[in-house]
Structure 1
Amino acid sequence: MEYGLGCIAPNCPDIISRVFRIKLDQLMVDIKDKKHFGVCIGVMTNITVEIRKAELDNQWVVPYNRDLLVKYQFHMNVEICCHARSLKYLFKYCLKGHDRATVYVQRKRKRQANDTDGGGIDEINAYFDGRYLCDTESAYRIFGFPIHHRIISVERLQFHLPGDKNCTFQANEALGKVVAREKNKFSKLEAFFYLNSVDVNARKYTYDEIPRFYVWNDGERKWTMRKRGFQIGRLCYVHHSTGEPWFLHLLLTKVRGATSFESLRTVNGVCYTTFPDACKEYGLLDDDKEWHEVLTQASAGGLPPQVRQLFVHIIVNCKVTDLKTLWSTHWKSMVDDILLRRRQSCPNTLFTLNDMQLQFYALGEIDELLRSVGKSLKKFDQLPQPPPSYLNNGTNNLIIEEKSYDTRKMEYETAKLLQDYTEEQRKIYDAVIQSIETR
């Protein structure tokens, strides 16, 4: 500033913005390239420009006046407090002394159906109307400096079944034109197959390992050798109940050097018809391996109730060889919420449960899920059987729901409806009731 004639900070937002950008770039070099804090695996920046705040707030009390508030929105940054009884203003210009004022409104504004805007207060538009860009942020945006920046170190890997590739097109495009354009474009998975067919080195890696050594070129729709940096490959998540897509997902994370879908299904020179058959032949389905993997994957990103639901889905709809081992391996991912809920239901905040009690409570939750589909924990004798006090001893949930109606209300409604029945409707009603009573 000392090199500019009469130049002070509030009058030079352009210089402030440029210097800030230079310092930000230098900071990124120190962190990312010079590795001052170790290896940087990702970068994310979010630029927020604020006005200088005064040491003390000015406080005013004013009557509510819509016209004045709208007028001063052009000169101040308006922040409506949560109780809507006070407004905080940040003056647009950084003046000497206090630049912050808190205005207490004597009358709380109420939403009324007969407001001049015809539909009450539009809070979204009110926010935009009351928002303004300070001089420094305006200069920052005029120079085209990015407000947000992100470099993700994870490459999302889409995959699809044969003939089921996704493509985008305009609603008014002819189908033939879309097919002609898309049929020669590789998806990431198809480009992976092609890469294995022409690059011997790539055959050493599975699909999710490829981003560490190759870069996806979206323009040319192909994988090219990586020259610097690295990325982690992550296949898109699929639920086990999807069937073929899940088994394809499993093969792509285990099989190396596949050049086509047929190659992926080929084991010891035999091309199998389905992906599950290939998984079985590879030995991926022995010893309940797929159930252990799907529960491990679910516990990494799912909540305990979701893991319990998945566990019930597996034991009800899938063939599990060793249910006892499956439970003993994964029960800890199903109980994280139980202790918290038990503490909330009792006054003792230091309440604790041992491992056996946690398992019993989790099994009680599983028993409720099983009863909702007409089964119970007793039918799965490989699982630990908790004492009755941990279980819901009621009957089937469907029966409970059928007995939960307000019978007095139903009797009143029935009597009221019978008065409006036609003669033919009354005969049908009487026949149904008689049939029920004589069964």
Structure 2
Amino acid sequence: MTTNNKQQYLVAFIMVTSLFFLWAFLHNINPILIPHLKKACTLTDTESAFIDSSVSLGYFLIALPAGWYMHKKGYKKGIQLGLALYCAGAFLFVPAASTRSYGFFLAALFVMASGATFLETVANPYITKLGDAATAASRLNLAQSFNGVGAFIAPLIGGKFILSGIEHSETELQQMTPDQLQQYLSFEAGTIKLPYIVIGAVVLLILLLFAFVKLPEIKETHSADAGSEFSTRVFRHMHFRNAVIAQFFYVGAQVCVGSFFIRFSKYTMNLGEKEAAFMWGSIAMVGFMAGRFVGTFLMRFIRPAQLLAAYAAISIALLAVAIVTKGNAAVYAMVAVPFFMSIMFPTIFALGIDGLGEESKIASSFIVMAIIGGAIFPVLMGQVSDANNGNIQLAYIVPLICFVVVGWFAFTQFKNKAVAVSAAGH
């Protein structure tokens, strides 16, 4: 590789790595948006869960079209389209807040998620090709660290600039005049405008940079029977089928645990929304990021399936404590869960595609599409809460059951020796 090529690859690597922060931010701002829009749009727990559903549905519907577009148009155009959609979705939050329309907010989130799907579909494989194949995994792991940064920064930014800290009781709201109530709700909805204008502007700047900076063109090579790669016959592999099921339940659990944490903290120990948001970002999500490094280290000595089983069991135990206790014990048990969730997505991914060869490409697409679980289980969790007079603590039985399924999958894979954990995008 020439010196010029190395410099070109370095610039491309830095620019593409910045994208990892964007989809991490989208996923991890939801625990802020759910309680915030619940107030601003006067929603039930079930209705507020559609925030997660909108994002997950975007991934589910756009994953395959994004892969097709990348295949036809190349990496750079895929990135540009993803950034354009992400930017458009962010700016749509402004009219959504002005009209205080929950449907408008969901549409804006869907557009942002569609853009993030393009970015995630393109960035992971592109990073692996920006240099020598022997160092592809280390490049991807380095880029993935920005995913972890986004995971803990999003709740901190959201807690600081979106949540007002004003939490009226039902009685106080009922005592307001219609004009006072509308003024309060409009104020709550309006706090979301400036942060998303800034987000849209930053993404627009990144889009302009990608438009004017020349990125290395990657020439792909295809085997003669490449068409056979994209066949649903891949489902004949039992370990792959089980991985799709496990990923469906895992992503559902991940989204459930984080999305209702602020509500959970208020319910179990009367913790304010700003304090809960700070705790989630500064402790839980830092633990999530640290857990990936610790888990990767432990896999040098422990088989991935065995570590996955142990982490699933610990997560089940922590959620059980969170469900049956009150106060600090419940909240800190919940805060500990993300550390043990951290390895689950990439480990299920690696075990699911192990030994599939050329079929791993289509298998990867289906495993990624399994994140639709993040659209379904939060709604189910909201329904459990609403059916029990807003008992969000009891509703955490939903992610607990999801982790049972993850543990079952891990147990079925004890003989699988896969150790690659470089696909950690969630």
Structure-1-length-normalised TM-score: 0.19
- Give the number of the structure whose residues are more often strand, by fraction: 1
Bigger-Rg structure (1/2): 1
Tell me which of the two structures has the higher relative contact order, counting C-alpha pairs closer than 8 angstroms and 6 or more residues apart: 2
Structure-2-length-normalised TM-score: 0.19
